[in-house]
Amino acid sequence: MEKNKYVPRVNQIDAIYLNKDIARLIRDNLLENLQAISPVLFIKIQPELDLLIQSAIWFGSVGKRCSTFGQQLLVLAYDAEKLTVSRLVLHFVLTVLPGYVKSWEERRLTRRVEWFSEAITWAENSALVLNILNYFRFLKTGRKPTLVDYLLGLDYISLRNNQRRDIGYKYLTRELLWGGFMEILGLVLPIINFRKLQRLLKSWTFGQAISGRRLEDRDDPAFLAPQMTLSTTCTFCGERPTLPHHMGCGHIYCYYCLNANVLTDASFCCPKCGSTCPESGIQSV
């Protein structure tokens, strides 16, 4: 069977993240159950449990089938011709043992050996820098996405031979439609005067009651003097007025409610009496 050595970069990265997620799920479930059985024993042997679980995952994936669980989900694998016994051993040492050594150093040493801790810190920092450099190399070449793969010379191969990659466009179409709809909303919403629409709706709803009392209310001199009481509410929002203001008609508003309506709607009039804002502007109570 002819091997297909071309594997898209995105598939290789997806395989790495899938493998991490699967290993994390298996580890968390097992450790959670073991901790529930005996918390004291769990604390004492946690590094060894981590090593046992990681080893079992490695032997069940790479050791048995020459591919991680993430690679198997994407129908990928390591090139079996390059995965010799010595490279398998080195792969196990480089992927499983470092985590155990760090956990052992943190939990087992009663007296922290300074040179040993510094050596581990230096190794972690060096591995981080090398991983970053290898990632940029991977983006350019599309081969050996991890530092361990590069050091051991391991390449990913596809088990699909030369079949075309199946791509579904339904999700992409929905995303494009939704993205276009959101762009339209972002363009249209800022130019809609919602306060004017709200005033028009209120006038259509209560227009007959208001128009029937306008002239009478305006002719009443006592109506022009605003009176603030404990039960006074904002004419617009119906809540207790914040920084109460009025526009000469005797009805009290919150400063924000009144000022925002006057600024956004030049023909704004009082919802109760129909008075408009005078040229002098709004006034505080």
Q: Yes or no: say if 251 and 191 are a contact pair by the CB < 8 Å rule.
A: no
Instruction: Determine the pLDDT at residue 80.
Output: 83
Q: What share of the chain is helix, strand, coil (3-state, %, to 5)?
A: 60, 5, 35
**Mean pLDDT, rounded, for 189-214:** 66
Q: Yes or no: say if 144 and 150 are a contact pair by the CB < 8 Å rule.
A: yes
Task: Give the residue with greater pLDDT, 85 vs 203.
Answer: 85
Least confident interval from 12-21, 75-84, 133-142, 222-231: 222-231
Q: Yes or no: say if 125 and 133 are a contact pair by the CB < 8 Å rule.
A: no
Cα–Cα separations (whole angstroms), residue 230 to 224, 227, 234, 241: 19, 10, 12, 10
Neighbours of 258 (CB within 10 A): 26
Confidence of residue 167 (pLDDT cuts 50, 70, 90): low
Confidence of residue 168 (pLDDT cuts 50, 70, 90): low
pTM: 0.52
**Mean pLDDT, rounded, for 121-135:** 90
Instruction: Determine the pLDDT at residue 84.
Output: 87
Residues paired with 76 in a beta bridge: 158
Q: What is the set of domains in the chain, with CATH numbers? A: 9-165 (no CATH), 224-284 (3.30.40.10)
Instruction: Determine the pLDDT at residue 216.
Output: 41
Confidence of residue 209 (pLDDT cuts 50, 70, 90): very low
Residue 245's SS3 state is: strand
Question: Is 129's pLDDT higher than 90?
Answer: yes
Instruction: Determine the pLDDT at residue 3.
Output: 63
Average pLDDT score, the chain: 80
Instruction: Determine the pLDDT at residue 175.
Output: 83
**Mean pLDDT, rounded, for 154-176:** 73
Instruction: Determine the pLDDT at residue 207.
Output: 58
